[in-house]
Structure 1
Amino acid sequence: MLRTLLNQTSLTIAGIMSGTSLDGIDVAIVRMEGSGLDTSIKLLHFESFSYEAEIREKLKLLCTIENSDVAQVCGMNFAIAERFADAVSQTAAAAHMSMAEIDLIASHGQTIWHIPVADERNPYLPKSTLQIGDLSVIAKRTGRPVVGDFRTADIAVGGQGAPLVPYGDYLLFKHASKGRILQNIGGIGNCTAIPAPAGGMIAFDTGPGNMIMDQVVYELSEGRMSYDANGDWAAKGKVHQELLEDMLAHPYFQELPPKTTGREIFGKAYVASWLASAVERGLPQEDIVATATAFTAHSIARGYKDFIFPQCDIAEVIVSGGGAHNRTLLNMLGALLPEQTILTSDELGISADAKEAMLFALLGNAFIQGEPNNVPAATGADRQTIMGKLALP
């Protein structure tokens, strides 16, 4: 099986993405031709599977030091892998494909903890990262080879292990005459700036994407809602400028790229503290949601103005991820960036929901083809390297 796989130049790959938003599992089955800059990709089928509320809340707890333990991490590593395997099987069935028609599975895994900068006070807390969803479990359940655990290789050569999407962003969206920013808005927001003509990229995590908005909506609705559909709740409120400026004063936004962040900084503890401050000020619920939404929009725009616009001209901002469906958020972003056209990747023929799963399929293809698939300019790595580990069925 492995010898056959390595000799193929055309592969059908199922990319699995489960992001920091903890909303569920995305699976994109794609057809790949070629390798490196000559790679082409075609989406064959996409499915999304929401996590049930219990799993979502357990994962949130795993992403906190206070509420996690080794037994829960150990068990969830296998439990989530079973769900990943089921998601691929169900996606193949929905596409009227047999599992034998899928050459490879590429899995991002579920991030539980990420340490992008070493703790100089503790030699046992070096730069490191942990994504669960055991590769062998997925391989044995599906009967297909699986590539995953990509981030660790980048960290091993001095990077921060994120963002990883610039590799695919460049392949899919480079343009001869237009400078573009690819903005993914999942749990965390990350951007890739591709100057025109396509040259050196700038990429970093802009800060929280949907993470704070979703947690605020969950808390205010007492668990009845997990997100603000279309941004309708935020559209009814007014942004509290003082509270917004307090949020934007967080030191993360002053750090120079390359940089990455996650629930370790902007998770449940951050939201609880911020929400308490908003309630103490007597803000109506719709104003709280509007301010949380504005925080994401302003942090994205500020990142561009501080770190991208001084270095290159940008004509278009192309948004993907769950945030692409939040019309209030996109309207806020458009108002902050009047000189740029705000698009969703759907408008360019790439599904905003499927894009990240497709990009991890690209990383899996590069692994099999023996091509470096990290971008040192984005992650701060010392050199290019081949990211990923292989599990056989």
Structure 2
Amino acid sequence: MNQNIQNLYQISSKSAKTIIGLMSGTSFDGLDIALCEFSGSGTDTKIKLRHFVTMQYTSDFKEELKFVFAKKTADLERITLLNAFIGTYYGELILQCLRDWKIEATDVDIIASHGQTIFHAPKHLHSVAGYPNATLQIGDADHLAVKTGIITLSDFRQKHIAAGGEGAPLALYGDYLIFSDPVENRIMLNIGGIANFTFLPAGQQGGCFSTDVGPGNTLMDQYVQLKFPGRYYDKNAEISSAGTVNEALLKALLDHPFFDAPFPKTTGPELFSMAYLLNAISKSGQPDISDQDVMATLALFSAQGIIHAITKCISNQKPYQIYLSGGGMYNPVLVRHLEERLGIELRSTETLGIYPDAKEAVLFALLANEALTGGKTNFGTLKNVPSVSMGKVSFPY
């Protein structure tokens, strides 16, 4: 038997596994690295988060990613080079963390790498006849595996698409196994570049789903980067706090069929782009709106998309609790809009034992654990929610 295959078999047979989960989102903040210990699988999964850190990207690297991100026309040579570079770069960041944590690479069983999304193209967005849902993440896992010497699982979204999904959101596969509760109806709300949530009815009686709901931080981040050079996001909502919501612009922003499309659904910055905002400004007849007022309006726009989706799936007769993660949880204006309009205090996922900033990296570590040990969980027959195991294997030698 090939030694790599034998090693993989031995790892999959272990009662406890040490898995590093990696996540790099569309905000380009940095690489989230979560060192997790897993036992069991499926609904019997037990997780211990041993270490977590976000390794910040340099400004130069962020600009490289922005150069190829969410563009229908991009430099193919640059994408090719970045695919190889990112894989090795991730490996270097992991090795640096392991040194800091005083852990040997040989003590890590698996790396689970999401990669860097550069384009997301579900059919309802690309509208190209005869072509399927599609998505593209770069950061080659063979480079990552060779650099670290650790077997790596990657490219999780492709199996989801091949089996009939849209490649996103994948949060259901972790949220259902980690956060389902016998008595509390839960909404696991993640506000990243795109906002999404998982609906978890009490008692695991079916009806669970994850869905994108619209922009989270993406339009605010894009606008800040355009209008305030050197800044990548509205830290502590300093800009939006100084502005006033423009109702005409808000109405124009909300005027899109995506918001009333059935669940589950997915979207991305390919739709909610600067072109989308500029078109809304034109439709609103407000060409001279101040930057601060634009930001204030975008914060409420993100909140309204989330609120509209939540109220569609939860009746007023069913009490529920919202648990929050993602960079948007640190935007006080956005959170205040949500709490005031929903009439509920938002809680952090930390109250359930998972540090919110680590949640997505932990998800991909969990998907790797399922690929190795589980794969039997039935997620039902909902459209775009195939019951599959995900992840491609890259060996270190």
TM-score (norm 1): 0.92
Are 1:346 and 2:356 counterparts? no
CA deviation vs aligned residue, 1:283-303 (integer Å, no higher than 9, x gap): 232211111111111100011
The one-letter code sitting in structure 1 at the alignment partner of 2:368 is G
Whole-angstrom distance in 1 between the partners of 2:78 and 2:281: 28
1:3 to partner: Cα distance: 2.5
SS of structure 1 residue aligned to 2:265? coil
1:267 to partner: Cα distance: 2.9
The aligned counterpart of 1:130 is: 136
Larger mean CA deviation between 32-41 and 212-221 belongs to: 212-221
The one-letter code sitting in structure 2 at the alignment partner of 1:265 is L
The aligned counterpart of 2:295 is: 289
1:375 to partner: Cα distance: 4.5
SS of structure 2 residue aligned to 1:263? coil
1:111 to partner: Cα distance: 1.1
Are 1:78 and 2:81 counterparts? no
Cα separation, partners in 2 of 1:391 and 1:149, compared to 1, 3 Å:
same
The aligned counterpart of 2:367 is: 363
Contact 1:178–1:316 (8 Å) recurs in 2: yes
Cα separation, partners in 2 of 1:373 and 1:236, compared to 1, 3 Å:
farther
Whole-angstrom distance in 2 between the partners of 1:69 and 1:218: 21
The one-letter code sitting in structure 2 at the alignment partner of 1:185 is I
Cα separation, partners in 2 of 1:202 and 1:312, compared to 1, 3 Å:
farther
Cα separation, partners in 2 of 1:5 and 1:97, compared to 1, 3 Å:
same
Contact 2:31–2:56 (8 Å) recurs in 1: yes
| Equivalent residue in structure 2 for 1:324, among 303, 323, 329 | 329
The aligned counterpart of 2:320 is: 315
SS of structure 2 residue aligned to 1:390? strand
CA deviation vs aligned residue, 1:317-340 (integer Å, no higher than 9, x gap): 1110111111221111101101x3
Are 1:203 and 2:207 counterparts? no
CA deviation vs aligned residue, 1:138-197 (integer Å, no higher than 9, x gap): 000000000111111111111111111111112222122111100111111110010112
Larger mean CA deviation between 367-376 and 138-147 belongs to: 367-376
CA deviation vs aligned residue, 1:82-126 (integer Å, no higher than 9, x gap): 221122212222222111111100011111122222766533x32
Once superposed, what is the RMSD of the aligned Cα atoms?
Answer: 2.2
Larger mean CA deviation between 151-160 and 80-89 belongs to: 80-89
Whole-angstrom distance in 2 between the partners of 1:276 and 1:72: 34
1:276 to partner: Cα distance: 7.1
Whole-angstrom distance in 1 between the partners of 2:90 and 2:378: 24
Q: Once the two structures are aligned, what percentage of the paired residues are identical?
A: 37
Contact 1:109–1:149 (8 Å) recurs in 2: yes
| Equivalent residue in structure 1 for 2:224, among 197, 203, 217 | 217
SS of structure 1 residue aligned to 2:97? helix
The aligned counterpart of 1:390 is: 393
1:14 to partner: Cα distance: 0.5
Whole-angstrom distance in 2 between the partners of 1:196 and 1:112: 36
| Equivalent residue in structure 2 for 1:233, among 209, 233, 239 | 239
Whole-angstrom distance in 2 between the partners of 1:272 and 1:86: 40
Whole-angstrom distance in 2 between the partners of 1:94 and 1:313: 47
Whole-angstrom distance in 2 between the partners of 1:372 and 1:86: 34
Cα separation, partners in 2 of 1:82 and 1:267, compared to 1, 3 Å:
farther
Whole-angstrom distance in 1 between the partners of 2:378 and 2:182: 22
The aligned counterpart of 2:36 is: 30
The one-letter code sitting in structure 2 at the alignment partner of 1:167 is Y
The aligned counterpart of 1:336 is: 341
SS of structure 1 residue aligned to 2:356? coil
The one-letter code sitting in structure 1 at the alignment partner of 2:325 is S
The one-letter code sitting in structure 2 at the alignment partner of 1:226 is Y
1:55 to partner: Cα distance: 2.3
1:275 to partner: Cα distance: 6.4
Stretches of 4+ aligned residues off by more than 4 angstroms:
118-121, 271-280, 372-379
Are 1:49 and 2:60 counterparts? no
Matches within 5 A, 1:63-212: 63-117=69-123, 121-123=128-130, 125-200=131-206, 201-212=208-219
SS of structure 1 residue aligned to 2:166? coil
Whole-angstrom distance in 2 between the partners of 1:272 and 1:14: 40
SS of structure 2 residue aligned to 1:387? coil
Are 1:4 and 2:3 counterparts? no
The one-letter code sitting in structure 1 at the alignment partner of 2:234 is D
How many residues are paired up? 388
1:372 to partner: Cα distance: 5.0
Larger mean CA deviation between 189-198 and 228-237 belongs to: 228-237
1:272 to partner: Cα distance: 4.9
SS of structure 2 residue aligned to 1:367? helix
CA deviation vs aligned residue, 1:327-363 (integer Å, no higher than 9, x gap): 221111101101x331121233321111110111100
**Unaligned ranges ≥5, structure 2:** 1-6
Whole-angstrom distance in 2 between the partners of 1:155 and 1:49: 29
**Unaligned ranges ≥5, structure 1:** none
SS of structure 1 residue aligned to 2:335? helix
Whole-angstrom distance in 1 between the partners of 2:329 and 2:100: 25
Contact 1:161–1:379 (8 Å) recurs in 2: no
